[in-house]
A and B are shown apart, each in its own frame.
Chain A
Amino acid sequence: MSIVKDFTLACPLPISDYPTVTLAHGGGGKLMHQLIEKMILPAFKNDLLEARHDGAVFQLGGARLAFTTDSYVVNPLFFPGGDIGSLAINGTVNDLSMCGARPVYLSCGLILEEGLPMETLWAVVQSLKQAAETAGVQLVTGDTKVVDRGKGDGVFINTAGVGLIEHELTIAPSSVHPGDVILLSGDIGRHGIAIMAMRQGLEFESQIESDCAPLNGAVQALLSAKVEVHCLRDLTRGGLGTTLIEIAEATGFQITIDETRIPVRDDVSGACEVLGFDPLYLANEGRMIVFVPGNEVNRALDLLRTNKHTAGAVEIGRVSEQHGGLVKMKNRIGTTRIIDMLSGEQLPRIC
């Protein structure tokens, strides 16, 4: 194969610390950010990608659009409160919503493992259908591939989505101003604990259900009421902590949050105590933070609280004048600590 023989690397491999990909490269923490910054962004360099939003926002023809994609690999496929199907729809719907877009069309790529029971596939397809109907989007194109037994985890799904932006706001970290108030749409950490409990066979007194949900309804309610939304971000892998750090770093302003105001369900915080986890870094699949100016807080909270997926919305902190891009949290006992990004996934402690 002459092509291979002639082929030379134009530049040395940008990430030399790790000769192989480790799970931490996908954990939503520092290693994943390094991978994106050092390898992915330079390779595809362009302005839309540089914005580093949940999706790309651009003008096409007469319309302002948002475009995004996400892949879903979850074990187990079905978990309390959701499954890979609802996750694949809601995740992409939420990414479009965080761009301030109204999600309209989704694509769906299914990568199936040889030997997957048809019944399981049918359940996933039904769930995709159901979640798409609930979110008010259509699956309009797709693809199916089958890989050898042992080369997939039953089902992997990729969805991409297009949404329409029907307002003049720029919803992005660049619009965040000192004095902005940060609203959190509900309690945190349930998805992370629900998955962990299933995967490790941990049993708690009550079943902890994932928070997996579409957020487009709540976002549309804010936008239709012309609330001056400055930034939206859904909390996924890295949790509330990582998301806040990303925004603080992008804006350069300091963010201060109050631990006592962050809702964590008792069963989730109990599980965290046992495992040595910090709920700030647990995954969520139906939670977002909303940055609004101080005079819009009450209106925004009232609107969010009328939507069942954001009924638990609360104010958790503020953006302050100081520079440095730090996130600080006022602890329960009255002291302050800095919230830092984790390297990879949280690991259960020994004792």
Chain B
Amino acid sequence: MDTTTAAPTAGRLRTSVPAAAGTVPALHLAGVTKHFGAVQAVDGIDLVVQPGEVVAFLGPNGAGKTTTIDMVLGLSQPSSGELSVCGTTPRGAVANGWVSAVMQSGGLLKDLSVAETVELTASLFARTQPVDVVLQRAGIADIADRRVAKCSGGQQQRLRFAMALLPDPRLLVLDEPTTGMDVEGRRAFWAAIRDDARRGRTVLFATHYLEEADAYADRIVLVAGGRVVADGTAAEIKARSAGRTVRATLPGVRLSDLAAMPGVDELDVHGETVLVQAHDSDAVARWLLTRTSARDLEVTSRGLEDAFISLTSTPSTDEVTR
């Protein structure tokens, strides 16, 4: 085999595409793991992010998102695997101002003003954008003189964003940036990020908000249990769990009674409830209504949320997967 091997699943095409000649990936993880004692927080993540991509790192709490981001930023070391940021080590990328981050919380001095905080941070870099410019970009020029302690959560987050913009980084990493913000703050924050990303900056953001991933990312990397479980556009991920769900009530049902049912992807029985993930929901419904005494039948289509749930949840014991 001389060409690239096909990705094992449809949604993971991107990770196996080699970097175009001459471009250094903004981010490159190969088989990265991290364990804390016996706990395996990250269990072999492969990920390549090309310059200019806006990537959502989506997963439930405890999926290993923050642990991975800490390693990307050089705040901790992988237990094994390879990791490079803009073609160099995480610490090297930080020292050069090539990567910067907006962390979830903390990291601010309450008794400084907004402008002073940015000015102080700027003094730590060899070269930065002007303080006024980043305040403007982050949409906080009007509160430059306000003490950090008096800023709302959303304003503090935009301050962190302004600080992250100072070195004009190639890669901007956001760790659950809107946790705890109200709707208005969240919208203003994402508007600022989106404006910035339009200028071609590579953005990787961790989130457990599905809507955010759907609305703001070009590409979604779905993680669960410390692994990448799906990788592609929102549409591709929805397609991975395409089909519909058929639910019906069938008293006294046993799994073996349903073995002959056509059009099934996945079958669950909980008490009297039959739950079928179907690629041919019509066939399933017809079979259930004509061959069994099923009643209260419902057919629903699946969205990104179902994809998220089905891809990130671990299989339960009474589940039969065909």
User: Are both chains from one complex?
Assistant: no
The residues of B with any CB-CB pair to A shorter than 8 Å are none
The residues of A with any CB-CB pair to B shorter than 8 Å are none
